[in-house]
């Protein structure tokens, strides 16, 4: 029996060789062949490939049967005598539990002081609690380090066990005694002892494994596994099927063997091709780690490479040489494409167009021939889901939605909504329970199902949360550990307001203790208010159950109970419950008898975050659809098209932050794992796996600032190598720098981005680009002309007043057209200050309360109960200033309101068979009195002016007046304006003119922006420059002007004051405002 090495440039050649080997059956017809594969994706591909070779009579209609595919860990576990890899006491997930016990017991030892200090053993209070929350995370990391030592450098642990600490750095001096203490705690042979016994046993006699075994597609193997395989080959035929890009490089390094310090490795000097030198270190180190006495070392030659840039690159890699002579790149050769984009979303946009172009150019190309790999699958997964495969749901959109896509390697928290809820609960527990966190959890599908929340319900709940000023904290007790002892802005505070609003309104000015009713709870939303209260109460109960220190079983039980309280799934989704129970069971089983070890919330977060991370699943690979996965599972599987998405600088290769506690990293040996080198090897594998086209996208410019960003270093090295592959640099042909927007003209013009043809297949992008490239026309008006005149009906005074609050918006209200107002979100931070609008809202409410007879202090306390003011001393000064100013205005208004208020019904004939009817109130004697917290200007005078006209028109003999009181532009003394009898025309005539403007304003938008039109009329009245005065109010400069109002933009577009004048601003402004200004006394 012997060790056989088979090498090839591509894994399809290796698969064919393996198929030829397996075609020769074993002596035992019932024995299974055993093939060890590094990843699930390779397993699926290999089984499909072999089915075209094995068991066929003719053609390629064979079958892959009688073959057991396993991963290396399961084989090693069987060789080591472990029935189940999860039962290995030296596996990191199992080792962590006795290691926790050792750490807890050793914190008083002198050697353990650095570790004890890090874990807060010598601290007290909150700092101790905070540091001890690291226990599991630290122990799991150390367990991983010890397992790495055992796999990669077992001699280190052998020395530590015998008391020879060797040249351990002084800052790591606590590791050898910690390892020895762990050995005393675990009742099993140490991993190095178990390994030595297994090697001796394998060399001595055969195992129950098949006579012939194959390891397929590996590019790195730890030294201990190589020793086991060498020993296994003593009595078994062991075939290593290794993808290696260059037979010439292998041959030049054939005499190099043995593990040495990496700094002493000079094998790179034998490398002539740049990519083999910079990307292929893992393969070189694997070669020198393999035994020198193999039975055969077979090279399986591949077919000739195509005469393309990719083919030239791959053939140079195979030859371990750069051979540009005679090669002239044709710009139409798109075998290697690198696309520089503005951010992740644009990368997916570009990927869609590239794939559609490839499919359109080659009718034989199918989605299953394309592989998309992404280093950061979780970032790109939502974008891919949105960009592909929605053809069954939406019609007439991008043709890429007809491509079916299968995502692999997703985290369980993303694929199982219940596990996602578990992750959210762990993040929320121990935290502040902010409004956004609690609302986000309520949007989760299982939570919605439990409480029956609809989309409308969640919108109403969000509005209640905003209006009730809920920010964070379940209640006052929950906030206390954060050093905040106020009930305001908590969930208890806000929910009480919602529930009180079911029975009472805010207008009643009554409250219960600190609870002021919320005024926006209608009678048909009573049930929803109850659901919200139940949801928050249950969530608080769950959060309180996920605190303190308790055993693992209690943690998982509390989390399971909490999920049961908050979620529900239908029969079709019952698998989610089963998977959750299975995953939690696996976690519990890994702890074994030590599941009673006390853990804290951060420990559980770290434990489950690792356990629920992304993992490859066999079912999502090679299903006939477009496969999207991480770089690992399909890295060396040949595809006609290989796409690498997201090769951004800082993302790829993974950040190799050296663990300061890793003894191996201080002086690494060849063959030991380095994740950055591993990622580089993955890129080299991907380059060789592309048989026709290699597509790479990366973020080459910031999507907000446009600032250029460099590609990832390995990608830059690839581009440099491509420049050397031909006689002339090809970077300008290979790299496509995409514009920010998909509707940019370059995307749709043939030759704009790629030779001879347009880049995009998106019809909407084409239409947008045509519109963008055409002559920039004036923005069409919202309506092409005046609407038909409405019936000449009587006018309600209330409708007239409502229209003239803002005549432009009045037009849209008449159409029942909803303006695109900005959606208000919720705030998580407690108010520590309030802006001008919030100040006005608070001040206006205080003022109206005081005018209603409320004491200023009581009015101020009412605002405390609303939660609008900053709590405690933070809001004291603000509240006092607002209250004092409101009190000044109220005191100024009271003398004018001394008479008993009354109401007067009016019915006024304004001619043409039209009447204005309504009620004017309150009237104090012969006086209308209005008070506002606003700084008094024309907007606040117009409403009382119209009501005053109604009084004069109804009873012209009375000397009516209208008094308006508000804040001054400067200072604190309230400003008072008094209006009397109109001087220029009769009140009926003026009312008739207002009705005429009202009729016109319902047919088309009148050029009457409130502030701008008043500024124009005020300047005319004062004999000043009206255009200059109006421009100051209209144009946005340092502060927003009225030209930024959405309603005005919709009505007038990007207009200047002169454009409004052309529409009649000057005329309408004088008609509306001058009579009022002349009536001021």
pLDDT in tens, 622-649: 555 788 888 887 878 899 999 999 999 9
- In the predicted structure, residue 872 carries a pLDDT above the cut 90: no
**pLDDT attached to residue 440:** 94
Are 638 and 691 in contact by the 8 Å Cβ rule? The answer is: yes
* Residues in contact with 740: Cβ distance below 8 Å, sequence separation at least 6, in sequence order: 342, 346, 701, 703, 706
Mean pLDDT within 774-780: 70
On average, the pLDDT of the chain sits at 88
**Lowest mean pLDDT segment, chosen from 132-141, 183-192, 833-842:** 833-842
| Spatial distance between the Cα atoms of 908 and 913, rounded to a whole number of angstroms | 11
**pLDDT attached to residue 684:** 95
**pLDDT attached to residue 856:** 86
pLDDT band of residue 618 (cuts 50, 70, 90) is very low
Q: Can you name the CATH fold of 412-611?
A: PCRA; domain 4 (1.10.486)
Mean pLDDT within 215-229: 90
The CA dihedral of 658, 663, 667, 669, to the nearest 10 degrees, is -100
Mean pLDDT within 200-224: 90
Q: What percent of the chain clears pLDDT 90, i.e. is strictly above it?
A: 53
User: Which tokens is 104 given?
Assistant: 């807890």
| Spatial distance between the Cα atoms of 1036 and 1034, rounded to a whole number of angstroms | 7
Q: Can you name the CATH fold of 3-83+196-305?
A: Rossmann fold (3.40.50)
**pLDDT attached to residue 611:** 80
The CA dihedral of 518, 521, 522, 523, to the nearest 10 degrees, is -100
- Give residue-wise pLDDT tens across range 379-424: 998 999 888 877 666 776 788 888 888 887 777 878 888 999 999 9
- Give residue-wise pLDDT tens across range 269-293: 989 999 999 999 999 999 999 988 7
Q: Can you name the CATH fold of 795-1004?
A: Lambda Exonuclease; Chain A (3.90.320)
**pLDDT attached to residue 779:** 66
pLDDT band of residue 508 (cuts 50, 70, 90) is very low
pTM above 0.85, yes or no: no
**pLDDT attached to residue 510:** 66
- In the predicted structure, residue 60 carries a pLDDT above the cut 80: no
- Give residue-wise pLDDT tens across range 201-210: 999 988 888 8
* 3-class secondary structure, 401: helix
| Domain at 336-410+617-773, CATH homologous superfamily | P-loop containing nucleotide triphosphate hydrolases (3.40.50.300)
Q: What percent of the chain clears pLDDT 70, i.e. is strictly above it?
A: 95
**Lowest mean pLDDT segment, chosen from 113-122, 622-631, 666-675, 990-999:** 622-631
Concatenated DSSP letters of 808-820 = HHHHHHHTTPPP-
| Spatial distance between the Cα atoms of 333 and 361, rounded to a whole number of angstroms | 13
Domain boundaries, the chain: 3-83+196-305, 93-156+168-175, 336-410+617-773, 412-611, 795-1004, 1007-1081
What separation in angstroms does the CA of 973 have from each of 236, 877, 898, 1081? Answer: 101, 19, 21, 19
Please give the residue that has the higher pLDDT: either 903 or 786.
903
- Pick the closest to residue 450 from 565, 363, 563, 567 (CA basis): 567
- In the predicted structure, residue 619 carries a pLDDT above the cut 70: no
**pLDDT attached to residue 59:** 63
Are 42 and 18 in contact by the 8 Å Cβ rule? The answer is: no
Does this chain's domain 412-611 share its CATH topology with 795-1004?
A: no
**pLDDT attached to residue 592:** 82
| Spatial distance between the Cα atoms of 615 and 611, rounded to a whole number of angstroms | 10
Distance from first CA to last CA of the chain, Å, rounded? 115
Element (H, E) at 801: helix 797-805
| Spatial distance between the Cα atoms of 41 and 812, rounded to a whole number of angstroms | 58
- In the predicted structure, residue 778 carries a pLDDT above the cut 90: no
**Lowest mean pLDDT segment, chosen from 87-101, 391-405, 961-975:** 391-405
pLDDT band of residue 509 (cuts 50, 70, 90) is low
């Amino acid at each position: 029996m012997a060790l056989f090495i088979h090498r090839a440039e591509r894994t399809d050649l290796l698969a064919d060789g393996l198929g030829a080997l397996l075609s020769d059956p074993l002596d035992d017809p019932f024995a299974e062949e055993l093939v060890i594969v590094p990843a699930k994706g390779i397993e699926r591909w290999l089984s499909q490939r072999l089915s075209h070779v094995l068991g066929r009579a003719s053609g390629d209609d064979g079958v892959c049967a009688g073959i057991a595919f396993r991963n290396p860990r399961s084989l090693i576990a069987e060789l080591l005598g472990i029935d189940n890899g999860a039962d290995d006491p030296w596996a990191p997930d199992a080792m962590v539990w006795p290691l926790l016990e050792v750490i807890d017991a050793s914190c008083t030892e002198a050697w353990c002081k650095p570790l004890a200090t890090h874990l807060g053993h010598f601290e007290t209070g909150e700092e101790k609690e905070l540091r001890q929350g690291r226990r599991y995370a630290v122990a799991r990391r150390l367990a991983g380090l010890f397992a790495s030592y055992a796999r990669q450098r077992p001699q280190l642990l052998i020395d530590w066990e015998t008391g020879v600490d060797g040249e351990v750095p002084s800052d790591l001096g606590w590791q050898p005694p910690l390892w020895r203490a762990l050995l005393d705690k675990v009742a099993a042979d140490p991993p190095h002892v178990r390994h030595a016994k297994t090697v001796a046993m394998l060399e001595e006699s055969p195992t129950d494994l098949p006579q012939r075994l194959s390891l397929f597609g590996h590019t790195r193997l730890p030294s201990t596994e190589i020793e086991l395989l060498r020993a296994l080959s003593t009595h078994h035929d062991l075939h290593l099927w290794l993808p290696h890009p260059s037979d010439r490089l292998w041959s030049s390094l054939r005499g190099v063997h043995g593990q040495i310090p990496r700094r002493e490795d000079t094998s790179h000097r034998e490398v002539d091709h740049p990519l083999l030198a910079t990307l292929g270190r893992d393969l070189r180190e694997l070669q020198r780690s393999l035994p020198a006495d193999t039975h055969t070392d077979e090279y399986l030659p591949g077919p000739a490479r195509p005469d393309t840039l990719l083919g030239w690159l791959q053939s140079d890699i195979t030859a371990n040489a750069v051979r540009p002579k005679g090669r002239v790149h044709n710009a139409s050769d798109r075998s290697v494409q690198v696309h520089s984009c503005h951010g992740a979303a644009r990368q997916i946009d570009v990927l869609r167009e590239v794939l559609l172009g490839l499919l359109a150019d080659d009718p034989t190309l199918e989605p299953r021939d394309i592989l998309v790999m992404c280093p950061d699958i979780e970032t790109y997964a939502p974008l891919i889901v949105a960009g592909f495969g929605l053809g069954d749901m939406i019609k007439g959109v991008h043709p890429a939605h007809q491509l079916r896509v299968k995502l692999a390697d997703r985290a369980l928290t993303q694929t199982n909504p219940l596990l996602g809820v578990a992750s959210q609960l762990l993040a929320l527990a121990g935290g502040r329970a902010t409004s956004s966190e609690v609302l986000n959890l309520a949007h989760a599908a299982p939570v919605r199902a439990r409480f029956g929340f609809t989309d409308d319900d969640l919108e109403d709940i969000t509005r209640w949360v905003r209006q009730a000023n809920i920010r964070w904290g379940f209640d006052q007790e929950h906030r206390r550990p954060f050093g905040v002892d106020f009930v305001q802005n908590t969930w208890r505070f806000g929910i009480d307001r919602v529930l009180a609003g079911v029975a009472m309104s805010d207008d009643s000015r009554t409250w219960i203790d600190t609870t002021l009713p919320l005024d926006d709870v209608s009678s048909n939303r009573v049930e929803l208010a109850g659901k919200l209260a139940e949801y928050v109460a249950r969530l608080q109960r769950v959060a309180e159950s996920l605190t303190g220190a308790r055993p693992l079983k209690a943690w998982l039980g509390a989390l399971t109970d909490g999920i049961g309280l908050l979620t529900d799934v239908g029969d079709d989704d019952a698998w989610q419950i089963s998977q959750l129970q299975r995953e939690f069971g696996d976690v519990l089983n890994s702890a074994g008898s030590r599941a009673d070890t006390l853990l804290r919330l951060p420990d559980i977060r770290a434990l489950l975050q690792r356990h629920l991370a992304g993992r490859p699943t066999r079912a999502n690979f090679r299903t006939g659809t477009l496969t999207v996965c991480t770089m690992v599972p399909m890295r060396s599987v040949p595809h006609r098209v290989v796409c690498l998405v997201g090769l951004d600088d800082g993302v790829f290769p993974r950040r190799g932050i050296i663990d300061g506690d890793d003894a191996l990293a201080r002086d690494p040996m060849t063959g030991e794992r380095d994740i950055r080198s591993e990622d580089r090897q993955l890129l080299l594998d991907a380059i060789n796996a592309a048989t026709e086209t290699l597509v790479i996208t990366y973020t080459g410019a910031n999507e907000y600032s446009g600032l250029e960003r460099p590609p990832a270093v390995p990608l830059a090295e690839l581009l440099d190598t491509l420049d050397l592959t031909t006689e002339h640099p090809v970077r300008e042909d290979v790299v496509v720098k995409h514009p920010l927007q998909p509707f940019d003209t370059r995307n749709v013009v043939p030759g704009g981005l790629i030779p001879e043809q347009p880049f995009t297949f998106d019809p909407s992008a084409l239409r947008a680009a045509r519109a963008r490239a055409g002559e920039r026309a004036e923005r069409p008006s919202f309506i092409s002309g005046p609407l038909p005149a409405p019936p000449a009906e009587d006018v309600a005074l209330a409708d007239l007043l409502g229209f003239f609050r803002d005549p432009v918006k009045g037009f849209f209200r008449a159409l029942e057209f909803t303006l695109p107002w900005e959606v208000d979100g919720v705030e998580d931070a407690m108010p520590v200050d309030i802006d001008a609008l919030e100040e006005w809202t608070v001040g206006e409410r205080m003022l109206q309360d005081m005018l209603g007879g409320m004491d200023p202090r009581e009015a101020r306390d009412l605002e405390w109960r609303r939660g609008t003011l900053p709590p405690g001393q933070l809001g004291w000064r603000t509240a006092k200033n607002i209250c004092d100013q409101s009190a000044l205005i109220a005191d100024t208004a009271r003398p004018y309101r001394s008479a008993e208020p009354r109401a007067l019904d009016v019915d006024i004939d304004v001619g043409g068979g039209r009447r204005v009817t309504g009620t004017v109130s309150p009237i104090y004697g012969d006086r209308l009195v209005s008070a506002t917290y606003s700084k008094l200007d024309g907007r606040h005078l117009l409403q009382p002016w119209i009501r005053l006209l109604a009084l004069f028109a109804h009873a012209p003999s009375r000397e009516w007046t209208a008094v308006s009181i508000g804040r001054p532009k400067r200072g604190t003394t309230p400003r008072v304006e008094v209006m009397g009898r109109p001087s220029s025309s009769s009140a009926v005539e003026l009312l008739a003119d207002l009705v005429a403007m009202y009729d016109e304003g319902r047919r088309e938008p009148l050029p009457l922006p409130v502030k701008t039109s008043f500024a124009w009329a005020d300047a005319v009245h004062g004999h000043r420059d009206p255009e200059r005065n109006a421009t100051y109010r209209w144009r946005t400069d340092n502060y927003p002007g009225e030209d930024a109002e959405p309603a005005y933009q919709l009505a007038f577009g990007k207009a200047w004051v002169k454009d409004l004048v052309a529409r009649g601003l000057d005329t309408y402004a004088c008609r509306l405002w001058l009579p009022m200004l002349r009536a001021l006394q």
